[in-house]
Amino acid sequence: MTIEIVIFAAVLIGVIGGLGLERFRVYFEAVEDQKHVATGGALALTRPRNEAQLPALTRTPTAQLQQVTDARFAPRRLISNNEEQIFQALELIIHDLDLDWRVMAQVNLAEIVDSSDPDALLAIGDQRVALLIVSSAQMPLAAVEYQALGQVRDEGTLRAAIRREALRRADIDYIEIRSNDTPEMLRDQIRRLAARLTAVGSMQPIISPAAAAAGLPEPPPRQAAARKPRGKPASGTKP
């Protein structure tokens, strides 16, 4: 056996061994991904964490439990002072108008809108709306957010633009409150929202005589045609 044959055999064995190791690595990663999905990792694929705020976590639940056990936690305020004032004003207005609605705080956008486009879902996965008005059937009606006057256009305002567009395409109202807005201005927006939803028949008549006296129109005698969804249809055909 010549030296050339020995070298060729050694190279061939090395290549075969390398291919075998690569296939084993791919198989091992696939098994780990399946375990990750089985333990809740699928949620992270559709609704990713905000990587700018949260560090990468070890995948195994046991390691995560140990990390939580070793860490210190403290209560954190859910909304800011300005948002709390808006929250209280919304609840008062909804009560005065006798609407069977509720106000929720810090709601994940991916929990209230849906899309057949997985990339679009990933784009909104870490987005939240500060305040959300929902119907008695827990359907989202309008997102309400505070916008400071003179705010510089930055990444935060671009993220807000993403939220507005996703809500618009889902036909969910977006109400932006500025620091110089009055409670009566907010009340007018809620009146208009209730009137529009009643007019298109998207909710059951819930307007009481007291609310009608406050300026809300009477519900229509029969339900109007359903609204067409905005954006591209999931099937690719014309809506």
- Residue-range definition of the domain harbouring residue 38: 3-48+56-70
Residues 116 and 155 in one domain: yes
Residues 125 and 185 in one domain: yes
Residues 40 and 94 in one domain: no
Report how many domains make up the chain. 2
**Distances 89 to 49, 104, 181, 213 between C-alpha atoms, Å:** 31, 13, 12, 20
Decide if pLDDT at 118 tops 60: yes
Residues 96 and 61 in one domain: no
Strand partners of residue 203: none
Decide if pLDDT at 38 tops 50: no
The 10 Å Cβ neighbour count of residue 97 is 21
- The pLDDT of residue 98 is 93
- Comparing 30-39, 76-85, 156-165, 171-180, the range with the smallest average pLDDT is 30-39
- The pLDDT of residue 40 is 43
Q: What six digits make up the tokens of 229?
A: 């969804």
Decide if pLDDT at 30 tops 90: no
Distance CA 97, CA 141 (A): 16
Report, as an integer, the average pLDDT of 6-17.
Answer: 62
Residue 200 pLDDT level (bands cut at 50, 70, 90): confident
pTM of the model: 0.58
